[in-house]
């Protein structure tokens, strides 16, 4: 079990709620994955008609909601959206996104820190979508964030863990901070690798929603997350250059 801002969550898998082919498929994906947290877009919820139906759907999922500020390109826009989310969803949890680059959807580090400081001061529990940059991570923690959500790769690419060195360094630098790999995961094996590094959870959307069978893929990711975490807790062996026999030489029969 993992805990964020003092709230325990049973599953280390978080799922987004966008791009599914139907509400039924979305519900089945969450059921089979056992995901503990669902991210929801404030922009979609605010839409008339469809938004009301969507809100009714996500409430039936029975999971913790994490509204996000997806699509925001400035601190001001993100802060306004977060305030709307608190009213709409009755939660002070917010996944903070401040996009700085249109092609890669990379976060704007200055806008992200600015928005995080404002929201933390207002009592929000901020989950910042960030990069693996150590200096930016430090600034976000100083701003009041108690969770960091570094990307694995740009959103929707499925590239997996593009900077393994950076992600390992982030985990080593902040051993007591809950870390969630957010974005870029395309296969269950990539999620397992993140968990083997010691990350506390993973968040994904496109890899499940756009799969031929979203519910089956969601279950696959759930199993991978569990396997990766068990591997980390058990103490997986580190790779080495030289071969080492697994069978001891003591007691081996020798021919005369």
Q: Which residues are catalytic?
A: 95
How many C-beta atoms lie closer than 10 Å to residue 133's C-beta? 17
Euclidean distance between CA atoms 70 and 97, whole angstroms: 6
Q: For the chain, what's the residue count? A: 256
* CA distances for 236 relative to 195, 213, 229, angstroms: 11, 31, 10
Annotated binding site: 156, 183-184, 205-206
Whole-angstrom Cα Rg for the chain: 20
Residues 6+ apart with CB under 8 A from 213: none
Identify which of 126, 207, 204, 200 has the alpha carbon closest to the alpha carbon of residue 170. Answer: 200
Q: Is the dihedral of CA 168, 170, 174, 178 positive or negative?
A: negative
The tokens for 237 are 């062996």
Euclidean distance between CA atoms 40 and 51, whole angstroms: 11
Identify which of 63, 14, 40 has the alpha carbon closest to the alpha carbon of residue 194. Answer: 14
> Residue 180: which H helix or E strand, with range?
strand 180-182
Euclidean distance between CA atoms 23 and 8, whole angstroms: 27
Annotated binding site for 1-deoxy-D-xylulose 5-phosphate: 156, 183-184, 205-206
127 neighbors 66 (Cβ within 8 angstroms): yes
The tokens for 140 are 């976000």
């Amino acid at each position: 079990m993992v805990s964020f801002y003092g709230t325990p969550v049973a599953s280390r898998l978080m799922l987004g709620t966008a791009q599914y082919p139907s509400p039924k498929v979305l519900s089945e994906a969450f059921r089979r994955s056992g995901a503990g947290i669902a991210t929801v877009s404030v922009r979609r919820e605010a839409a008339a008609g469809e938004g009301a139906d969507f809100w009714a759907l996500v409430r039936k999922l029975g999971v913790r909601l994490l509204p996000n500020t997806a699509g925001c390109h400035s601190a001001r826009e993100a802060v306004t959206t977060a305030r709307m989310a608190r009213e709409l969803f009755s939660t002070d949890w917010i996944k903070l996104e401040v996009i700085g680059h249109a092609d890669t959807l990379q976060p704007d580090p200055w806008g992200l820190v600015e928005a995080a400081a404002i929201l933390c001061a207002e009592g929000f529990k901020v989950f910042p979508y960030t990069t693996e940059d150590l200096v930016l991570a430090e600034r976000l923690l100083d701003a009041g964030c108690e969770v960091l959500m570094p990307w694995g790769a740009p959103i929707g690419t499925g590239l997996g863990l593009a900077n393994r060195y950076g992600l390992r360094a982030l985990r080593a630098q902040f051993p007591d901070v809950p870390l969630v790999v957010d974005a870029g995961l395309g296969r269950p094996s990539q999620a397992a690798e993140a968990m083997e590094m010691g990350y506390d959870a993973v968040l994904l959307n496109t890899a499940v929603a756009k799969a031929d069978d979203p519910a089956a893929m969601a279950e696959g990711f759930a199993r991978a997350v569990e396997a990766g975490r068990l591997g980390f807790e058990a103490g997986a062996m580190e790779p080495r250059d030289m071969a080492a026999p697994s069978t001891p030489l003591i007691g081996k029969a020798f021919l005369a």
